[in-house]
Amino acid sequence: MATSVMMEATSRSAEMESGGRLIVVTNRAPVKVVTRGDSTRIETTVGGVSTAFVQLLEKFGGLWIAWSGGTEDFSQLKLPQDNPRFTMILKGLTEAETTQYYWGMCNRGLWPLMHLMPANCRFNTRDWVTYRAVNQSFANQCLAQARAGDTIWIQDFHLALMPAMVRRQAPHLPIGVFWHVPFPPEEVLSRFPWRDELLEGMLGADLIGFQTDEHRRAFLSCCQNLPGAEVDHEQGIIVHRGHTVRVGAFPIGAPLESFQRFAADPHTARRVRQIRRGVYVEKLIVGVDRLDYTKGLLERLMAYERFLERHPRYEGRVTMLQIAVPSRTRVPEYMMLRRQIEERVARIVARFFYDGWFPVRYLYKQYPPQTVAAYYRAADVAMVTPLRDGMNLVAKEYVASRVDGDGVLVLSKQAGAAHELKEALIVDPTNIEALAAALKQAIEMEPDERRARMRMLRARIATNTLTDWADGFLTALHQAHQGARTAALRA
């Protein structure tokens, strides 16, 4: 990971203080605009990594470009509303663009491809043409706003073609890309019909960041046979058609301050007591996930059912509470997954329910982060068991929320967080028997061991916060941009 330094000491902040701005470009916005009659209201939806971008832009000023979530454009929104520090431009997409770019190529094409689930991939030429057009539209919007000294930071697979599109028109600007999801090996990416165009689009950046070194190496290997590319695996450098690109691993940091604040709030303590009274058991297991087939929810429920089968003495003493945040509700695979999960929950309740005890509680709903922090505090055990994940901030949020120094984290070895959070119980998310055994170990763990593990986990996340991550990436981006310019002058 790039070395993290304080904002005021970085070359990145020096550049921004001299007049340059940070331009963040994402598919998802941290706000939504609600229009009712003649009135317009801005509602904050910030969570996870978006918090870091908001903090950066509030500190240094700048611009955020994102999809509005609908068909309407909203330009020059000043945020925060009570003390404006940066500008947000929300782009609308047509119904056809939303269907083909977002629901089609992003969610039924690239998402399963990146998560090594090619059986779920649906590739359509029309969707790819629209994906390309939307990326060009975002690039045009960015170019219309950018000026000398600005820094452009593009986020994730929704906008993979945008870096090269911006580079062609503005080679003098630093361009960074962060890839939040995993990156697949060559044998999987080769199934993508537009593989070369995808890679060439990303290589318009000066710096490409991934969550783990495994994902970084996979990208470098995929570029090995790309026409016009020279790859230095040891240095993490790709020279593509005369442009030098650096590739690095930048594990995303924990939202430490915000979740510690939520967890320590007296309102949270009251909510924790309400949650515990509602389940009225000795041990509470909590899962918090988007309802997505990459998150391993079915396998987790199956493991919990196996745990109850193997250890009947825990009937009436343990409850699993699963929060499933609605996601991609128009995608058929997600509709099917929701039915499967609800059927599994009903099966477990039917098998084990007695005398008012519900073995599992299922909440299909999105909660604000303050409420989520209360569930984290209430949980004796948190299960974070994705089948494959870039990082998974839920694991770090749980640790950040445990200001009491207690609790056990059961964590999938396929989550990027497992490379850092080594004191968690690391599990194979597809091995039902092993998951059930890990659950028993977590529930029966002695207090001294629980606290020792949590103390080390909290020390780990304190060394890499969301702000540290953003600082480290942007510092490395400016160094990479300067290096690319120097290399071009020497050529």
DSSP track, 181-210: S----HHHHTTSTTHHHHHHHHTTSSEEEE
Active-site amino acid positions: 180, 389
- Angle, vertex CA 227, rays to CA 221 and CA 230, nearest 5: 55
SS3 41: strand
CA distance 58 to 84: 8
Cα–Cα distance, 369 to 20 (Å, whole number):
32
Is residue 113 within 8 Å of 188, Cβ to Cβ?
yes
CA 459 to CA 447: how far, in whole Å?
18
Q: By the 8 A CB rule, do 267 and 370 touch?
A: yes
Buried b (16+ CB within 10 A) or exposed e, 329-356: eebebbeebbeebeebbeebeeebeeee
Contact indicator for 139, 158 with CB cutoff of 8 Å: no
Residues 100, 96: Cα–Cα separation, whole Å: 6
